[in-house]
Amino acid sequence: MEELIQLRQELHKHPEVSGNESKTAQRVLDFLAKYKPNQVITNLGGVGILAIYKGKEEGKSILFRCELDALPIQEINSFDYKSIYEVVSHKCGHDGHMAILCGMAKTLHENPLEKGTVMLLFQPAEEDGNGAKRVLNDSNFDAIKPDFAFALHNLPGFKKHQIVIKENTFTCAVNSMIIQLNGKTSHAGEPENGINPSLAIAEIIQVFNSKINTDVSSKKYCLITPIHINMGEKAYGVSAGYGEVHFTVRSNSNAQMRIIELNLEENVTKIATKFNLKTKIEWTESFQANENNSEAVNFIRKSASNLNLDILEKELPFTFGEDFGLFTQNFKGAMLGLGSGENTPALHNPDYDFPDEIIETGIKLFHQITKEILNA
């Protein structure tokens, strides 16, 4: 494991945010060159990499996916391999996920497949919700049609090495909403001569708040979080004529998310009309729910059991977003959780660090899933 731990820490030390992962991708390519895939496709959806290992005989194909990008967060750790960049760091564990897939490459090189195909996808731009879409829309990915697709995410708050599985929705659908409201500026002493968006913004916030249902077990689960408000300028003689408000919206199914989106848009239009405002609505950083396929989950369950790993069958979905949901819409697939410690900093916290000791667990599980599917 020494080589993989060294790689993980090197990746951690040199993080890159979504859309800028060129040096990270090159480090991965340099590693893969030692473990000779049958084929390597580069520049998928940006700087994405697909390493393909083929068996001697035809058989089923499996795709395993990890992420290349880091986050715009200042690291506060003091270990030797801390991020060398200001306000960029691996605070979601994608460095560890890459190390696991690189470990799979090493394993497949040293234990060649008898039959079937395994594809290792190093995907860019997961954090901003664009990477999966760009990869799937890339013409170089058109011929890639795996029988199964898998991904994992490390999970602080769960026992180290524990495997967390769930059928149906594993992570929620998340979409971010930008509402722009255009009115008319006027003198602050004569606000009646203008159209100020403040009351509309207040009403939108109140109406959206009334639609929240925090019961994630409910089919009508809906979490709406105000993120940003901007209105007017710091010019005290001027009544604002423009404002905008941003929200994130979460649902535990893709179908319900569509219903929620339409309803929110209708409410915004109604409120804007009431206050004589022109409105523009944009949706950004969209994450489809990971709706796990039961057959794929069964392969995870059986593999973890055969490895004598602790398995947790999760009752409710995670409320965070993960763009692997687009893969589970297109292929039989599943995302699983890998426990990274009960008393460790949470994801996206400035003191978080991926625990190197779970790299081997991830590799062994993915390799066991490979054997279960290809030898079935």
CB-hemisphere CA count at 13 Å for 142? 3
Element (H, E) at 371: helix 359-374
Domains of the chain, by residue range, sit at: 2-167+292-374, 173-287
Element (H, E) at 297: helix 294-306
**Assigned token pair, 59:** 């058989």
Q: What's the length of the chain?
A: 376
The predicted structure's pLDDT at residue 315: 96
Q: Rounded distance, CA 70 to CA 64, Å?
A: 19
CB-hemisphere CA count at 13 Å for 303? 28
Beta carbons within 10 angstroms of residue 173's beta carbon: 26
**CA-wise closest residue to 174 among 115, 238, 61, 261:** 261
How is residue 130 annotated by DSSP?
-
Q: What is the CATH number of domain 173-287?
A: 3.30.70.360
**Assigned token pair, 24:** 């990270």
CATH fold label, 2-167+292-374: Aminopeptidase (3.40.630)
Write the DSSP string, 47-70: TEEEEEEE-SEEEEEEEEEEE--B
For tokens 């954090």, the residue is: 127
Distance of CA 66 to the CA centre of its chain: 10
**CA-wise closest residue to 148 among 59, 50, 68, 45:** 59
193-to-184, 187, 197 alpha-carbon distances in Å: 8, 8, 13
From first to last of its 376 residues, what are the pLDDT tens digits of the chain? 999 999 999 999 999 999 999 999 999 999 999 999 999 999 999 999 999 999 999 999 999 999 999 999 999 999 999 999 999 999 999 999 999 999 999 999 999 999 999 999 999 999 999 999 999 999 999 999 999 999 999 999 999 999 999 999 999 999 999 999 999 999 999 999 999 999 999 999 999 999 999 999 999 999 999 999 999 999 999 999 999 999 999 999 999 999 999 999 999 999 999 999 999 999 999 999 999 999 999 999 999 999 999 999 999 999 999 999 999 999 999 999 999 999 999 999 999 999 999 999 999 999 999 999 999 8
The amino acid that residue 37 corresponds to is P
Q: Rounded distance, CA 165 to CA 296, Å?
A: 10
Q: How far apart are the first and last CA of the chain?
A: 29
Alpha helices in 118-219 (DSSP H): 131-136, 198-210
Beta carbons within 10 angstroms of residue 222's beta carbon: 22
The radius of gyration of the chain's CA atoms, rounded to the nearest angstrom, is 23
